[in-house]
Structure 1
Amino acid sequence: MKRSSFELVETHIPSLRRYALVLLRHDEPRADDLVQDCLERAMSRWHLWRRPGNLRGWLFTILHNIYVNDVARAVARPDVVEIQDYFPAMAVPPNQADRIQLREVTAAIQELPDPQRQTLLLVTMEGFSYDETADITGVPIGTVMSRLSRAREKVRAASWGETRESGRRIT
């Protein structure tokens, strides 16, 4: 792997680490190990990357597959997960109602089943398309769409008490 190739990969390390932290429920040492394993695998298989392909998507796919294959079975999951690092810092300190709502949304995301949480974060926080998310997670696009829909509905219901039965349109 040439220096210029590493520089291409280096720009994606912060988002890979952020996703790894969420996958591993903010276990920083394990997240760092996961990112390192991802980078090692990418470097050793650099010849497999299809240029000018989607490098970011390829790296996220590697990270996700390592997590699923090697890490997911061994991770002891705590009852409470902090994902505040995933939310950008607010320019204006939130008022009490905003803090309560943020806490409710954060708790609702933490309680989602892993596949729904992963899909929600890849699409909403990392900005991947449904197709890219399907490629990264190795599931059909319809599964991505249903996981995303269920995740959004659960977060909305938990934080605002809205459900499909409430008559409101869930977007």
Structure 2
Amino acid sequence: MTGPAAPLPAGERMMQRLVASAGAASEPTADMADLADVVRSLLAVQTYRDTRVRLGGGLFDVVITSAGAQARSAVALMDKIQDGCGPVIEDPDDGWLYWLVPSGSVDRWAPHSHAVCLGAPHTITLPSLNRTAPPGPYWHRPPASDRLVPPSPLREALAQLEPEPTPHAALADRLGITH
């Protein structure tokens, strides 16, 4: 017989609430109009316009970390692991990095003390492909073909380097999740 489960740390409790608020990680496309919207959005990025896209749905999920020195070291480590890191967006206003990971990663991402993984129904604004410096969000590592950041090596790099400050509380506040 086992005793009562130990209470989860506050960060893990917030992560569980954040994941629960997201709902299903991938919703099937209701009709071809949804697919057409996705294609139009991606073409807009290619033609040098910022565009908002829904996470998941076969495109990608996103891992969010701080954009501090430890996170930049994680990018350098992923450069070595991937022979050039997959796509990463930096938002200097919020101080975050958005790592684009394969769609469905949110289903396999266990709570992490230094990162949050989000998928559908959340959205992200992709900067135009020519935006590689501030002001505003820009491509810290621009996309190269169909390569995304692999979640397992990223998770290990973030656990090793511990980028601070963590995004958990700020995301919970932004998404209206109570602690």
Which interval holds the TM-score relative to the shorter structure? under 0.3
Higher helix share: 1
Tell me: higher relative CO, structure 1 or 2? Use CA pairs within 8 A at least 6 residues apart: 2
Normalising by structure 2, we get a TM-score of: 0.25
Higher strand share: 2
Normalising by structure 1, we get a TM-score of: 0.26
